[in-house]
Structure 1
Amino acid sequence: MATANTQPPSAVRLTQYAALDIKGADAEKFLQGQASAQVGLANGTFAPLTCFCTPKGRMLANGQLLRLGSDHFRLVLDASLADGLLTHLKKFAAFYKAELSVIGSVTFAGASEPADTLANQLDITLPDQPYTHTTSSKGTALRMPGKPRWLLMFEKDASDLVNSDDALHNEWQLADIRSGLAWLTAKQQDHFLPQMLNWEALGGISFKKGCYTGQEVVARAHFRGQVKKRLVHASINAATLPEIGESLLDDNGKTLGEVVSSAFSGKQQVELLAVMNTKVMEDNLAVYWQQQPITLYEMPYPIERLDPEQIAAQLA
């Protein structure tokens, strides 16, 4: 397998994200029964990855969970899923002192080199550890995985501070791909077990917490080793980006995987994340997209369980 280089992006407006806020005296208790994260680990510094599942263990959404106040949590997720997840969760929130809302006024920006200047606008310092955040009344800076880059959330419109540039947006997407971080979208909702997006290898599942919706199926798949599909990082020679959900095939036209995200990494060069049958890696099978051969890369993390409790302890 090849090894990919990483190049952090400059400041760019990121419209693919949304903010779903959960507030109230029972906000933590409510989330604990729905999210794969150990909600108490979201302590105002550590922002654990998490997901929400159907009773059959299929992902409705994934994202990062931030605590912005004692009774105020924010889930950062793909914008295509926000309203649907809000409707889904409200069915359960009716039994708790918790209010949910999608905050449309938040401006999301991705930054690397210009991040200090933007952080000054928020009256905060930049966090230096991945999956940690700093917050003020003006907004939040969340450190992302890989080479230093930050997701900034301005509580009010900040269009004048960031760029709306396709090339910069592509660079941010490429950085996520090279970090092995896949964001579920509406096109693949209720389709994958969390482990198919390597979510337990990223610390996005707590196997030490109590029950949550879908927990039994997710735990059984883990402990019985029943996960036969995994997220992989790959590249192809192509002038266009594969669509989300497009099939990846073997020599005989049999589907071996499907695209989750993609970005350009050079002229006529595309990198992508795909959920692939594990036999591809085990048997070194040839895989194609539109008859173009695919090159597989090593993932930037081991495909093994990483407990979020372990991450939180290392940050303490």
Structure 2
Amino acid sequence: MSTDSYQPYYQQQLSEAHFEQNTEGFQRLLNFGNVTQEHQQALQGTVICALSDYALIEVGGSEAVQFLQGQLTNDVKQVSSAQAQLTAWCTPKGRVIATFYLLQRGANYYLLLAADRLAWVFKRLQMYVLRADVQLRTATELQVCGFSTTQAEQIPTCFTLPEVNQVEHDNGLSVLTIPAATGTRCFLIAENLQSTWDACLEQGATPAGRSAWNLLDIQAGLPWIETATAQAFIPQMINFPELGGVNFKKGCYTGQEVVARTHYLGKIKRSMRRARLTGNSDCQLTGTALAVADDKQSVGQIVQAAVHPDGGCICLAVVKTDVVTPETVFLQQQPEIYLEWLE
């Protein structure tokens, strides 16, 4: 969400913040001036991340569940006030338009997504409402930040961490725990996060930006589809079934035929892997095409990348499944930069 839509909870650290503005006008708070320290703490300590470029779409009405069930890859009927889920929205050809966390607050459902997809997704979702009793709106009153720790003693007492993909609600604060490579991490969602942000800092958390959160997503193998990668992949290419983001028994939804056929026939030509990039790169690589020496066509794309505190960049990359030899895949426009598989 735009930082000027409300008083930012990171106001005290604002003078040190480094922003990047995307084509949709949303500001991404990258860091608070010390990338290496923030990333080291993200991997080995405790961080509280300002996530100014996440947004929420509220879905209400008596037919909200039926509406979402016909659009999303996961089984919406399993979502409750205590249970959230990773999910995606696809084109009729099965290509992922956006990825979300779907949660329930009160009587309404909320889609948490990358803010640069907000305007496009919101407009397109409205086209599918037709005469259904469904109301959509952008929940601009809600703020989002992220908490991550490898040290249990630094978890503030002001909120409770539930199990992965579960939600705790207390006095207007929603705590949604998501996958982590090590330790525990969660989204914190509320109309005013100031007291929660301050409590985390008092407990010893390092303030950080989206760059550190992105690093944690990569470590956990959790992809977020942004404008640069929209409609580039089917869910299987970004490992969504393995992440619990697709339910193959729920019935029809937009793109279901292609997604199901791929699943049952087992014909997946590309998949997502973690990799380290050799050479010098600025790590702003989302959507960057990948190549190999003996193929003029692209063999994949980078989903997201981040600076690693040990040096260089790591990334999530979707590549052809038959491209398995390390150090043969490189950036199509920077052939001196190769990928080294991390797993």
Q: What is aligned with 2:12?
A: none
Higher strand proportion: 2
Label 1:159 to 1:240 Cα distance change in 2 as closer, same or farther (>3 A). Answer: farther
**Kept in 2: contact 1:13–1:107 (CA 8 A):** no
Report 1:192-231 matches (<5 A).
192-231=233-272
Counterpart amino acid of 2:300?
A: G
State whether structure 2 residue 314 is matched by structure 1 residue 265.
Answer: no
The two structures, once aligned, show a CA RMSD in angstroms of 2.4
Which amino acid in 1 is paired with 2:120?
Answer: G
Superposition map of 1:31-42 within 5 A = 31-42=68-79
How far apart are 1:278 and its partner, in Å? 0.6
The Cα offsets for residues 183-202 of structure 1, whole Å up to 9 and x where unpaired, read as 00011212211111111111
- Alignment partner for residue 76 of structure 1, among 101, 112, 116? 112
- 8 Å CA contact retained: 1:8, 1:149: no
> One-letter code of the match for 1:176?
D
Structure 1 residue 134 and structure 2 residue 163: aligned?
A: no
Counterpart CA distance in 2 for 1:167 and 1:138 is 23
Distance 2:187 2:65 in 1: 24
CA distance in 2 between partners of 1:217 and 1:168 (Å): 37
**Is 1:156 matched with 2:197?**
no
Report the secondary structure of 1:112's partner residue: strand
| Structure 1 residue corresponding to 2:65, chosen from 28, 31, 35 | 28
Which deviates the most, 71-80 or 136-145? 136-145
Aligned to 1:243: 285
Match of 1:89 in 2: 125
Distance across 2 between alignment mates of 1:131 and 1:59:
21
Listed as ranges, the gaps of 5+ residues in structure 2 are: 1-41
1:151 deviation in Å? 1.0
Query: Does the 8 Å contact 2:218/2:305 carry over to 1?
Result: yes
Deviation at 1:157, TM superposition (A): 5.9
Q: Partners in 2 of 1:34 and 1:280 — Cα distance? A: 33
Q: Who is 2:99 aligned against?
A: 62
Q: Provide the C-alpha distance between the structure 2 equivalents of 1:296 and 1:257, rounded to a whole number of angstroms.
A: 14
1:166 CA drift (Å) = 8.9
Task: Say whether 1:182 aligns with 2:216.
Answer: no
Tell me by how many angstroms 1:277 deviates: 0.7
Query: Which residue matches 2:318?
Result: 275
- The residue number in structure 1 matching 2:338 is 293
Deviates more, 1:22-31 or 1:85-94: 85-94
Q: Give the C-alpha shift of residue 37 in structure 1.
A: 1.1
- Measure, in 1, the Cα distance between the counterparts of 2:319 and 2:228: 17
Contact 1:7-1:175 at 8 Å conserved across structures: no
Deviation, structure 1 residue 153 = 0.9
1:145 correspondence with 2:179: yes
Residues 8 and 148, structure 1, Cα contact 8 Å, conserved in 2: no
Question: What residue ranges of structure 1 are gaps of 5+ in the alignment?
Answer: 299-316
Corresponding letter in the other structure for 1:144: I
Matched residue count: 286
Secondary structure at the counterpart of residue 308 of structure 2: strand
Q: Normalised by the size of structure 1, how large is the TM-score?
A: 0.83
